């Protein structure tokens, strides 16, 4: 059984299991298991965003984004409570449901401010997490791509092609989707 750890703050952490289809929220101070969330497949990525942080989805709610084999989901719970991590007993699943490509090598998303970026059908999609509306979508020449990092203006992606031949790192301008440059990946 493989577990991966994601720290939300000095008070809360999440563990997700690669084979058990669960996400577990733990209190770091007490070691107490706070909540277990189901997933529809093996969990590939979890990102925790505490309320009030610079890229917080909600001002008074903690948020958790999770990607499994079939989708990306958004969970949230009130940050205001007598406990330091909020009231996890009333975790809500938002209306956000993003189906992901089953053909890509990794289902990975990035959080940039109040937006989520992910790959779908060979395009990089940016979606607003509050309104759930698509903000931008730009096509690429590669169907199998992994988003690695994003900044205020640029997005770094690994583009895989035909068993690592012609695989490259690519930089896209997130304002207009233009390919800025590429660099061959060493094998």
- Name the burial class of residue 32, with classes exposed (0-12), middle (13-18) and buried (19+) by CB atoms within 10 angstroms of its CB: exposed
**What values do phi and psi take at 16, rounded to 5?**
-130, 140
Report the CATH number of the 101-187 domain: 2.40.10.480
Please write the tens of the pLDDT for every residue from 99-149: 766 655 456 788 887 888 988 888 899 988 888 889 999 988 777 788 899
| Contact of 26 with 20, CB cutoff 8 Å | no
Please write the tens of the pLDDT for every residue from 23-67: 877 776 777 777 888 777 777 788 877 777 666 667 777 788 888
| Strand order, beta sheet including 92-99 | 45-49, 61-67, 71-78, 92-99
Radius of gyration of the chain (CA): 17
Nearest to 96 by CA among 82, 113, 114: 114
**Structural domain spans, the chain:** 1-99, 101-187
Q: Record the pTM.
A: 0.76
CA 114 to chain centroid: 12
């Amino acid at each position: 059984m493989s577990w991966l750890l994601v720290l939300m703050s000095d008070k809360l952490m999440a563990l997700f299991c690669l084979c058990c289809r669960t996400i577990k929220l733990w209190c770091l101070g007490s070691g107490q298991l706070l909540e277990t969330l189901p997933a529809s497949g093996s969990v590939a990525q979890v990102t925790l965003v505490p309320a009030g942080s610079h890229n917080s989805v909600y001002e008074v709610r903690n948020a958790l984004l999770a990607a499994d084999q079939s989708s990306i989901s958004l969970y949230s719970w009130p940050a205001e409570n007598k406990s330091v991590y909020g009231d996890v007993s009333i975790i809500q699943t938002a209306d956000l449901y993003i189906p992901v490509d089953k053909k890509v090598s990794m289902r990975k998303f990035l959080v940039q401010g109040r937006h989520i970026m992910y790959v779908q059908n060979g395009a990089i999609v940016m979606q607003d997490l509050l309104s759930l509306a698509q903000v931008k979508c730009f096509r690429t020449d590669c169907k199998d791509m992994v988003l690695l990092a994003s900044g205020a203006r640029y997005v770094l992606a690994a583009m895989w092609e035909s068993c690592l031949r012609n695989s490259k790192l690519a930089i896209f301008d997130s304002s207009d989707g233009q390919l800025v440059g590429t660099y061959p990946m060493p094998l």
